[in-house]
Amino acid sequence: MPGDPSPRFSPRSLAVQALGRIDEPSRALVPPIHLSTTYIRDPDNQYRSGNCYGRPDNPSVREAEAIIAMLEAAPAAMLFGSGMSAATALFLSLEPGAHVIVPEVMYWGLRAWLVIDARAFGLLVEPVDASRPEAIAAALRPGATRLVWLETPANPLWTITDIAAVAALAHAAGALVAVDSTCATPVFTRPLALGADLVMHAATKYLNGHSDVVAGALVTAREDDLWARVRRTRTVLGQILGPLETYLLIRGMRTLDLRVRAAAASAMELALRLSDHPALAAVLYPGLEGHPGHAVAARQMVGGFGGMLSIRLRAGAAAAIATAARTRLWKRATSLGGVESLIEHRASVEGPDSPCPSDLLRLSVGIEDVEDLSADIDQALRAP
């Protein structure tokens, strides 16, 4: 990308400094917020500044996109008003009749849209067990499958997909691979380096990290015709992120590395402590050696296994709901990836069609003291 800082600095350092760019007119250290919705034309009626109107583009948005592209070692990124906007923009940019393969276990909101609504847009959606590359291989239709959508670790069971293996299979069949890497984050996994073609982030979560912005991002390995169609979809449907939200997202990304590593370290410690808890039937966390996807996760998640885990209670659904109600430090709320720790009974949220077990609680580990988090969940599990 033109104007990039020296590549000798690490992604962590560059993100902390928002790529180190200084606003020349003001000499400000912090990137400014560009609120204008319209811009002055040149005397010959052109827009040589690159800015014409707020719906297709915005200077603040381009700043944030450059940071995300840098974090993913990608040529380009695109910001959207939510993770759902980013994901659906990609699916809507495929040609009608496209066959797409998706995981059986994935973010429930996108799963519902794919199962209920995508057919109206001409998409043929086939859910498979994405933790098994052979299941994806069996579902691929050479010449018809256009996209394989992956999510790893997959919310809320935290199953793992071998990105490199699936990419090789998909490419041999003429299909692209897109990865929802929201929970892995660029800190631990770079899907493009493993062969993926596109990456999606619900930037509401770890990229922002403060539970005060709803945003989404797509990242591409190539600025090709599909990427151009995605950009047009964003423009036509008005899906771009607003400048104020973009400013907050940039602020959040400056501490991404520190937050994610702290959360992952605490999640690993909690998973180990909870593994032999008498109230629990299972702890689902890819960092545990007994996790079915641990070996693959250890290979493609470099430096940590993320801040998300789930626990299953021996006493069932009612006990799970009661446990969440007894926590004091863990907050009962939807979402994940913020600095505060959250706990949620997912089956209640996702409804009867959810693949989520009714005895499961999803835990988003924040950056509080791990001893406090451990003591609080323990007392909630042990209370009568």
Q: What CATH number does residue 207 fall under?
A: 3.40.640.10
Q: Does the global pTM surpass 0.75?
A: yes
pLDDT attached to residue 7 = 58
Secondary structure letter of residue 120 according to DSSP: G
CATH number at residue 352: 3.90.1150.10
Calculate the average pLDDT of the chain.
Answer: 95
189 plus 46 within the same structural domain? yes
125 plus 223 within the same structural domain? yes
70 plus 159 within the same structural domain? yes
200 plus 304 within the same structural domain? no
Give residue 2's pLDDT band: very low, low, confident or very high (50, 70, 90): very low
pLDDT attached to residue 327 = 98
Distance CA 170, CA 137 (A): 8
The 3-state DSSP class for residue 322 equals: helix
Counting the structural domains of the chain, the total is 2
- Kindly state the average pLDDT of the residues 339-368: 95
Q: Is residue 266 part of a domain?
A: yes
Lowest mean pLDDT among 1-10, 29-38, 167-176, 223-232: 1-10
Distance CA 301, CA 188 (A): 5
Q: What is the DSSP string of 157-173?
A: TTB---HHHHHHHHHHT
Give residue 1's pLDDT band: very low, low, confident or very high (50, 70, 90): very low
237 plus 278 within the same structural domain? no
338 plus 365 within the same structural domain? yes
Give residue 45's pLDDT band: very low, low, confident or very high (50, 70, 90): confident
292 plus 213 within the same structural domain? no
**Tens-place pLDDT, residues 48-57:** 888 888 898 9
Q: Is residue 4 part of a domain?
A: no
Q: Which of 210, 229, 253 is the last residue of a domain?
A: 253
24 plus 103 within the same structural domain? yes
Q: Is residue 164 part of a domain?
A: yes
**Tens-place pLDDT, residues 110-138:** 999 999 999 999 999 999 999 999 999 99
218 plus 77 within the same structural domain? yes
**Tens-place pLDDT, residues 228-265:** 999 999 999 999 999 999 999 999 999 999 999 999 99
Q: Which of 199, 227, 253 is the last residue of a domain?
A: 253
CB neighbour list of residue 80: distance below 8 Å, 6 or more residues apart = 86, 89, 215, 216, 217, 218, 234, 239, 240, 241
CB neighbour list of residue 17: distance below 8 Å, 6 or more residues apart = 254
Q: Is residue 363 part of a domain?
A: yes
Lowest mean pLDDT among 6-15, 263-272, 353-362: 6-15
Q: Is residue 176 part of a domain?
A: yes
Catalytic residue annotation: 55, 107, 180, 205
Q: Is residue 122 part of a domain?
A: yes
Q: Which of 223, 253, 283 is the last residue of a domain?
A: 253
pLDDT attached to residue 51 = 85
- Domain span holding position 355: 257-382
Distance CA 115, CA 261 (A): 35
pLDDT of 3 over the 90 cut? no
Q: Is residue 6 part of a domain?
A: no
180 plus 212 within the same structural domain? yes
Pick the closest to residue 247 from 208, 218, 216 (CA basis).
208
pLDDT of 70 over the 60 cut? yes
- Kindly state the average pLDDT of the residues 36-44: 90
270 plus 191 within the same structural domain? no
**Tens-place pLDDT, residues 85-104:** 999 999 999 999 999 999 99
Give residue 355's pLDDT band: very low, low, confident or very high (50, 70, 90): confident
166 plus 298 within the same structural domain? no
Sheet of 360-364: strands edge to edge? 280-284, 308-313, 360-364, 342-344, 331-332
